[in-house]
Amino acid sequence: MSFLAQNGGRGDNGSVSSADGQTWDIVVVGAGAAGAVIAARASEDPHRSVLLLDAGPDYPLAGDLPDDLYNGHDNSYTDHDWGLSYNPLAGRTDRFPRGRVTGGSTAVNTTIALRGIPADYDGWAELGNPAWAWDQVLPAFNRLERDLDYGDQPHHGDAGPISIRRWTEDELVPTQAAFIQAALEHGFPASDDVNAPDAVGVGPMAMNKLGHLRISTAVGYLASARYRDNLTVQADTVVNRVLVEGGRAVGVETADGARISARLVVVSSGAIHTPGVLVRSGIGDADELASLAVEPVAVVPGVGANLSDHPALAIVMTPKFPEFCAPELPLVQTICRYTSEGSNSPLDVNIELITRTGGRGDPMFMLAPSLEQVDGRGEVRQTSRAADSMPSINAHFGENDRDVTRHVRALEDAFALTKRAPLRDFIEQVNFPDPARSSSADLVQVARRVSASGYHPCGTAKMGPAEDPMAVVDQFGRCHAVDQLVVADASIMPTVPRANINLSTIMIGEMVGEWIRTTPTRYGL
C-alpha cells in the first residue's frame, strides 16, 4: 500500500514522477470511456493510491467546459481531437476523430447510449470469456446508468453516474418524427426502449446527456471521484511505454522521459492508441517490432490486429424545409434496429436519420444505414516508435462479401423509407446515391467504394484464452505475456457489439474497475 507524495490527489495537474521512490498502487493510462471509470471505481478503496494519466487537457468543473465539450447536440470534431486519419478502403484516406481530453471520446461524441444485444456478450463468453456473458455484464450496465425513463425496470439502473434518457415525441425535430412514422408505415415495429434486451424496430434514441450537457465519464465519474485523497488526475501527459522488468510491468515512461512506478499498470488508451503503447513497450507482432527497431519484450501477434468497426453509408438529401437542418438542433434522435433480409445474424443493421450533414454549402440531411455485425477486420499499425507519431489505421471496408451484401440491403431499405410518408414530404431531392442508379449492382459498388467508419473501433488487443494465439489479454484484462499489466478499453472486445460502443466501453470500465477493487489479489495487489 502506498500513498500520495507529490501533489496530494484531488485532481491537481502537477507533474508526478517516481524520482523520490514513490510507487503507486495503480497507474491508469487514459482517462476515457473505460479508464476514467476504472480509476473512479478502484479509488473507492481509500487504501489504494491511483494515478490517472491522460494526454489531453482536463476541465474539473462542468462550468469550465468549453462549448464544444458541453454541447451534446453535436460532436466536437476539432478542438479536442487527435488529428488522426484512416483508410476506410484501399486508396482512400479520411479523418478519424478521437477525443483528446479527460473523458476521451465520451467527451466529444454524439452521446448515443445504446447497448449491444445479449447475443453480443454471450458471443464473447463463447469465445472463452465466460465472465462477459449477458447475465454477467447486465449488472454493470445497470450500475453505470441513471435511466430517467426506465430506471424501475429490472434490466435498467436508476442510480448510476451516467444519466440516460430518450427524446419525447414533442422534442423531436420534425424530420426525426417523420422518420419514425415512415419506418412504422414500412412495417418496422415500434421500440420505445431501444435498450430493452429484446428491443427491435424504430424509436427514440437513448442518450447520455441532460439538456445540452454531455454526460461524459469525466462529468459522470471523475467530477466527484477526483476529490478523493487517493486519486490523482494528471492531464497533458503522453505515455510513451510501459516499463517491464523480468516479465513484469513496473510502471510507465512518459514522452518527456519521466518514469512513474506502479504495482499495477492499466492501459486504457482506446482501440487506436492502446496498440501503440504496447508496441512501444516491446509487446506486439514480431515483424512490427522489428520494423520499428523496438526490442521485443513479448511477441504478441494480436496487438493491433482484429480491428472491428461499423461501416456506414449515407443517403444524402436536400430538405424542403432547411430550418430543420439548423446547427443548433440535435444531430441524432432516433434509430431503427433490425435484421437485414436473409441474414442469420439478429439485429445486424440499423438506420439513423442525421439532422444535418457536416459539409459546407446548402443544408442537407441524411439517412445512415450502418452494418452492426461485421465479419471483416482491419488493423492498426505503428508508423514510428515516437510517442507522438500517428498510427496507420486500415479498416478494409467493402472487402468482405457477406458484409457488403447485408449492408446493401440496409441501403435499399433506407431508399424505401425516402419514398414513405411522411418522410418523403420533407425531401426536396435525393442527391446521393443517384436514385437513377440504385439497382442492387449499383449499390454494391457504392458499398465497396464509399463505405466509411461509424467511429466505433475495437478489438485491437482482444481478450481470449491463452490457447488463442491472437488473444492479448485474458477475460479479466490481464496481459497473457506480461504480469501486472492490464488492458481495459474497447480494444479488448473480441467482436464489435451491435450498437455504438460508447456504453459497452463504459461497461468494460465498470467490470474491470470493480474486479480490481473487490478482488485485488487477482491483479497482484
Query: Beta strands 92-96 and 206-207: pairing type?
Result: unpaired
Reported as a pLDDT band with limits 50, 70 and 90, residue 10 is very low
Reported as a pLDDT band with limits 50, 70 and 90, residue 3 is very low
pLDDT at residue number 6: 31
pLDDT at residue number 142: 99
Return the domain boundaries, the chain. Answer: 1-81+96-166+209-307+457-525, 168-204+311-373+398-450
pLDDT at residue number 360: 74
Query: Is the pLDDT reported for residue 21 higher than 90?
Result: no
Taking the alpha carbons at both ends of the chain, their separation in whole angstroms is 8
SS3 6: coil
Reported as a pLDDT band with limits 50, 70 and 90, residue 73 is very high
pLDDT digits over 156-214, tens only?
Answer: 999 999 999 999 999 999 999 999 999 999 999 999 999 999 999 999 999 999 999 99
CATH topology of domain 1-81+96-166+209-307+457-525: FAD/NAD(P)-binding domain (3.50.50)
Average pLDDT over residues 397-415: 98
Q: What is the DSSP letter of 174?
A: H
pLDDT at residue number 77: 84
pLDDT at residue number 380: 99
SS3 124: helix
Q: Do 319 and 175 touch, CB atoms closer than 8 A?
A: yes
pLDDT at residue number 11: 43
Query: Is the pLDDT reported for residue 358 higher than 80?
Result: no
- Separation of alpha carbons 81 and 21, rounded Å: 35
Reported as a pLDDT band with limits 50, 70 and 90, residue 218 is very high
Beta-carbon contacts of 99 under 8 Å, excluding residues fewer than 6 positions away, are 32, 56, 76, 80, 81, 82, 105, 106, 107, 108, 109
pLDDT at residue number 93: 97
Q: Which residue has the cell 445486424?
A: 348
pLDDT at residue number 4: 30
Q: What Cα–Cα distance (Å) separates residue 456 from each residue in 267, 353, 399, 503?
A: 18, 18, 18, 11
Q: Do 31 and 52 touch, CB atoms closer than 8 A?
A: yes
Query: Is the pLDDT reported for residue 12 higher than 60?
Result: no
The amino acid sitting at 512 is V
Query: Beta strands 206-207 and 162-166: pairing type?
Result: antiparallel
Query: Is the pLDDT reported for residue 1 higher than 60?
Result: no
pLDDT at residue number 7: 34
CATH topology of domain 168-204+311-373+398-450: Cholesterol Oxidase; domain 2 (3.30.410)
pLDDT at residue number 365: 98
Q: Do 493 and 509 touch, CB atoms closer than 8 A?
A: no
- Separation of alpha carbons 458 and 85, rounded Å: 16
pLDDT at residue number 16: 57
Residue 214 φ/ψ, nearest 5 degrees: -75, 120
- Separation of alpha carbons 480 and 503, rounded Å: 26
Query: Beta strands 259-267 and 485-487: pairing type?
Result: parallel
- Separation of alpha carbons 458 and 374, rounded Å: 12
pLDDT digits over 253-310, tens only?
Answer: 999 999 999 999 999 999 999 999 999 999 999 999 999 999 999 999 999 999 999 9
Query: Is the pLDDT reported for residue 108 higher than 60?
Result: yes
pLDDT at residue number 17: 56
pLDDT at residue number 9: 42
C-alpha cell at 201: 424496430
Average pLDDT, the chain: 95
pLDDT at residue number 2: 33
Reported as a pLDDT band with limits 50, 70 and 90, residue 79 is very high
pLDDT at residue number 62: 87
SS3 120: helix
Count of alpha carbons within 13 angstroms of residue 144, beta-carbon side: 31
